[in-house]
Amino acid sequence: MIHDATIAPTDPHAGSAATSQPDAFTPPADSSLWRKDFLLGAATASYQIEGAIHEDGRLPSIWDTFSATPGKVVGGQTGEFACDHYHRWESDLDLLTQLNFEAYRLSIAWPRVMDEAGRPNAKGIDFYKRLLGRLKEKGLKTFVTLYHWDLPQHLEDRGGWLNRDTAYRLADYADLTSRKLTGQVDSWATLNEPWCSAYLGYAEGRHAPGRTNGRYATQAMHHLLLGHGLSVQALRANDPRSQKGLVANFGRGTANSEHPADQRAAHLFEVQHNAWVLDPLLKGSYPEDLFELWPGTEPLVLEGDMETISVSMDFLGANYYFRSNVKSDGAHGFTEVPLEGVERTQLGWEVNPDGLRDLLIGFNRTYANLPPVYITENGMASDDAVVGGRVDDSQRIAFLKRHMAAVDEAIKAGVDIRGYFVWSLLDNFEWAYGYAPRFGVVHVDYDTQQRTIKHSGELIAKFLAERRARG
């Protein structure tokens, strides 16, 4: 999940669009979401829900280290317990069935399945075998992300993503897991949101490992993408029937005015957020404009790297949360200028479904080889509470409906979009924000681990039941 804003109170306009007809969730009759071949699912990530960080041979990760460092996470909170999914996974998977979801996107905890020498950890692998086996028994499609930010700490101690060797260790990890889990995974994603790993982790320092150097960010990104290409090769060799791809977060940037400098600033915003990842994957090169923003930060690229990175993919996962309004910083970059009077979420993120549609249509025009797309994360944070045994999350209901409508508009404009995953199934550990923001369609009481399906989840289940009944 992208985290690129500071936590803020909900905007006073936040409820304006959300409170009208909260039960009117079902899409119109001509929506693509009614298609039987359009997949609807929910998503989670290992560090955010599993807990059990010291059990069954799991090694420390960079997020264990980062969240235990004073001042790095709101309230000093960590993922040590999270949603206790490691022990409650069976009942959590029952929620997927209860909500009528057709697919589940999860991630494997790299530190849980391998030791420092790269040997398999049988107990960790068995956990995912049992989990994926149960999903298959339930008839759900399985979308598995290999790297959702929980790098083993011992690799960080050797340089992390600044060390080219880490790309090869990712490929080893992909090789091991795909050999052990062959036939249980419908779709493999090598990376989740490399922009966050590289930029927030190495340039801004707001994510693990907490480094702050622009040159580090571009080199880390190169090694992440190199690891992706190497991993796709291993996945294809071991599990040829599955899909292979990558999940990226995308940001919509709009200009504060029609002035050419502000228009250029919006362009550079999208270069940094989008083209930095998509150009090497789909064009085999980095965008030159990126180094206008960050002069002198070109990564070390060895012969053959770009060919490895631009290996063909079966799908692209797209994560989207908000739009950013920017203006020129008067030099070679941009600065954000938040709009007034717009709907915002608990985190202060603007609700802008048109941004999702516009990005998807733009990518389809820009990249002739754009693979089929899944919306692998879309959702919003709110300060949800259980009142009388129920959770009224009317803003989320409106948010999801409007973003699903934006996806439908993109499909009708010619974009090949195959599915949509709600972020998230459960409230969870939201990285540097801790546990205050709640993104789930299921509420989690972290003291008791009680799960309560929110009203949004009830309406999703109702729609999916109706879609299933139509055949």
Q: Specify the 3-state DSSP secondary structure of 157.
A: coil
The contacts of residue 172 (CB under 8 Å, 6+ apart) are 114, 118
CB of 180 closer than 8 Å to CB of 132: no
User: In the predicted model, what is the mean pLDDT of residues 283-289?
Assistant: 97
Tell me the average pLDDT of the chain.
95
- Show Cβ contacts of residue 146 under 8 Å, excluding neighbours closer than 6 positions: 107, 108, 110, 170, 173, 174, 177, 188, 189, 190, 191, 231
209-236 per-position pLDDT tens digit:
999 999 999 999 999 999 999 999 999 9
Return d(Cα 431, Cα 85) in angstroms, integer: 16
pLDDT band at 1 (very low <50, low <70, confident <90, very high): low
pLDDT recorded at residue 471: 79
Strand partners, 255: 326
Contact 188, 315 (CB under 8 A): no
The CATH number assigned to the domain with range 32-470 reads 3.20.20.80
Overall average pLDDT of the 311-321 stretch = 98
Output the six-digit token pair for 130: 């049992």
173-199 residue pLDDT tens = 999 999 999 999 999 999 999 999 999
- Cα–Cα distance, 350 to 348 (Å, whole number): 6
Q: Domain boundaries in the chain?
A: 32-470
- What 3-state DSSP class applies to 18? coil
Q: Is 455 annotated as a binding residue?
A: no
pLDDT at 287: 98
**Alpha helices in 325-393, H assignment, sequence order:** 353-366
Percent of the chain with pLDDT over 70: 95
Distance CA 39, CA 102 (A): 6
| Helix, strand or coil, per DSSP, at residue 68 | coil
Q: Check if 258 is active-site.
A: no
Other CB atoms within a 10 A radius of the CB of residue 304 amount to 10
Taking CA atoms, 190 is separated from 78, 89, 177, 185, 251, in Å, by 25, 23, 11, 13, 20
- Name the catalytic one among 193, 270, 409, 458: 193
pLDDT classification of 280: cutoffs 50, 70, 90: very high
Q: What is the pLDDT of residue 151?
A: 98
CA distance 127 to 108: 10
Does pLDDT of 21 surpass 70? no
DSSP states of 257-275:
SSSHHHHHHHHHHHIIIII
Asked if 401 and 365 touch (Cβ cutoff 8 Å), the reply is no
Q: Is the pLDDT assigned to residue 11 strictly greater than 60? A: no
pLDDT for the residue numbered 398: 96
- How many angstroms separate the CA atoms of 267 and 255, rounded? 8
Burial of 18 (0-12, 13-18, 19+ CB in 10 A): buried
Does the annotation place 298 within a ligand binding site? no
Helix (H) or strand (E) holding 236: helix 214-238
193 is catalytic: yes
Write out pLDDT tens, residues 45-102. 999 999 999 999 999 999 999 999 999 999 999 999 999 999 999 999 999 999 999 9
Other C-beta atoms within 10 Å of 9: how many?
11
Residue among 50, 102, 343, 377 flagged as catalytic = 377
- Tell if the pTM clears 0.75, that is, is over it: yes
For residues 107-130, give the mean pLDDT. 98
Q: How confident is the model at residue 5 (pLDDT cuts 50, 70, 90)?
A: very low
192 labeled binding residue:
yes
Confidence of residue 368 (pLDDT cuts 50, 70, 90): very high
Q: What is the mean pLDDT of residues 32-36?
A: 95
Q: Is 321 annotated in some ligand binding site?
A: yes
Rounded Cα distance, 1 and 15, in Å? 23
Work out the angle at residue 127's Cα, subtended by the Cα atoms of residues 47 and 172, and round it to the nearest 5 degrees: 75
Q: In whole angstroms, give the CA distance from residue 230 to residue 162.
A: 17
For the segment 256-266, the average pLDDT, to the nearest whole number, is 97
Residue 431 marked as a ligand binder: yes
In the three-class reduction of DSSP (H, G, I as helix; E, B as strand; rest coil), residue 77 is classed as: coil
* Banded pLDDT at 8 (limits 50, 70, 90): very low
pLDDT value at residue 275: 98
